[in-house]
Amino acid sequence: METKLLWEQIVNKLSKEKLIDQDIVEEYIVTSELLKMSDKEFVILVRSNLGVTILNEFKEVFIYEFKTLLNDYVSVEFSTKEVFEKISKKEEKKEKLIISLPENSLTFDNFIVGSSNKQANLAAKSVAANPGSSFNPLFIYGDSGLGKTHLLQAIKNQALLSNKKVLYLTSEEFTKKVVNALNKGDLNEIEELKNEINSNDFFILDDVQFLSKKDKTNEFFFNIINNFTENGKQLVFSSDKTPELLNGFDKRMITRFNSGLSTPINSLDIPTAKLIIEWEIKKQGLKQKVKEDAVVYLAQNFSDDVRKIKGLVNRLLFFGIQNDLGHIIDLEDVVDLFKDTPSANLGLLNVKKIKEIVGKKYDVTLKAIDGKARTTAIKNARHLSMYFAKIILNHTSTQIGAEFGGRDHSTVLSAISRIEKLIYKEKEFKKIVESLKNEIIGK
């Protein structure tokens, strides 16, 4: 849907449904402009700072209206044109820097080391300095967003400084090269590719798990591994799991992966997350001072991966631009700023735990929530549990249906939609939802 048409429909719906006072609609919404940043990110440009403050009070209403029109959850932010242009200029400068230094910024010097990644960092430094040693191949594994790619790029950049010849590829890039050579059906093409790869001192391959079940590519890959190993040249691989847990590879490949050193990058611990947050704040050039307790709160609640931390700091940057330079960002600021962001440290939170918390509120058993009874208390408990499974655990409607007695996904969507409408229309119900959400995520 075109952005202009989408905005017209939202303004019309807000006017007709009267969820927002008509004076506010006419004064601040009709005069605003919608910008589409991506399929799931929108910015509403408002004429004044007062308008931004007022419309932020109705943020959930806007998210609901976008969802009904686009059939998906989206991010909505409010800004004045002046503030938005300042941010755009900062992002433009940052983009230019990234273009001029694509991966060179990923080094050992700016890799934040803590107990969760210390072992992997030491191993990476060792192979960068002493290629082809006993740590060959070096196999680094761990969940997405914990710094595996940073370490692989750091190895590459350190090796290049030592005048070593390095080939760094993602598994997708490697697969394309091999498939293109094989499809040509020319043995010379295949030999040329082998020679091109084998001429390097380092072969670094990111996300090897995506080579699963690619038999022809893996046959080629196995020959490359043998050549590098026999010639004392360094292999470095990353994956989202240990070699033993990789599926779709034959035993000899798993044996090769295990023949060097396998080392994990574990989930971020709070001290390491705190160091990364402080580093990102400094790197982004946030003008305002951020108090210690605010940084600790972010580390305690949103420390599941580095990418998320960078996103959080970007939001702090946006917040900082909208405030005076003398404003000190404190705990109260960050709690309010991230109140709608689910905490990363949800422990053993699952659908059953959500049902227990909501069921306790309505004095309803788990059996009743999964059953077919439709009293008001049971229906509210069931629908709220489905709603929280969506917004907190980010489960799909099909997953949620399976977890609630095998219900159809359309039933789930209807239940979630009912809860959303009640939130917007009934203030007391909204308070109940906020209270339950805070209890569930441990705030």
Q: Is 13 left (phi over 0), alpha (psi -120 to 50) or beta?
A: alpha
| Alpha-carbon gap, residue 82 to 156, rounded angstroms | 41
Q: Is 145 marked as a binding-site residue?
A: yes
Phi and psi for 259 in degrees, rounded to 5?
-80, -10
Give me the amino acid identity at 316: L
The percent helix, strand, coil of the chain (3-state, each to 5) is 60, 10, 30
Q: Is 148 marked as a binding-site residue?
A: yes
Tokens of 253: 């490949």
Q: At what angle do helices 270-284 and 292-301 cross, to 10 degrees?
A: 120
8 Å CB contact between 204 and 166: yes
Residues 174, 178, 179, 180: is their CA dihedral positive or negative? positive
DSSP 8-state secondary structure symbol assigned to residue 29: I
Residue 137: asked if its preceding bond is cis (omega within 30°), the reply is yes
Alpha carbon separation from 289 to 315, 326, 380 (Å, rounded): 15, 8, 44
DSSP 8-state secondary structure symbol assigned to residue 259: T
DSSP 8-state secondary structure symbol assigned to residue 39: T
8 Å CB contact between 106 and 149: yes
DSSP 8-state secondary structure symbol assigned to residue 253: H
Q: Is 406 marked as a binding-site residue?
A: no
HSE of 58 in the Cβ direction (CA atoms, 13 Å)? 19
Q: Is 311 marked as a binding-site residue?
A: no
User: Which H or E element spans position 35?
Assistant: strand 33-38
Q: Is 215 left (phi over 0), alpha (psi -120 to 50) or beta?
A: alpha
User: Which H or E element spans position 76?
Assistant: strand 75-80
Give the β-pairing of 41-46 and 33-38. Answer: antiparallel
| Alpha-carbon gap, residue 256 to 237, rounded angstroms | 11
| Alpha-carbon gap, residue 285 to 86, rounded angstroms | 14
| Alpha-carbon gap, residue 283 to 111, rounded angstroms | 13
Tokens of 340: 């709608």
Q: Which residues are annotated as a binding site for ATP?
A: 145, 147-149
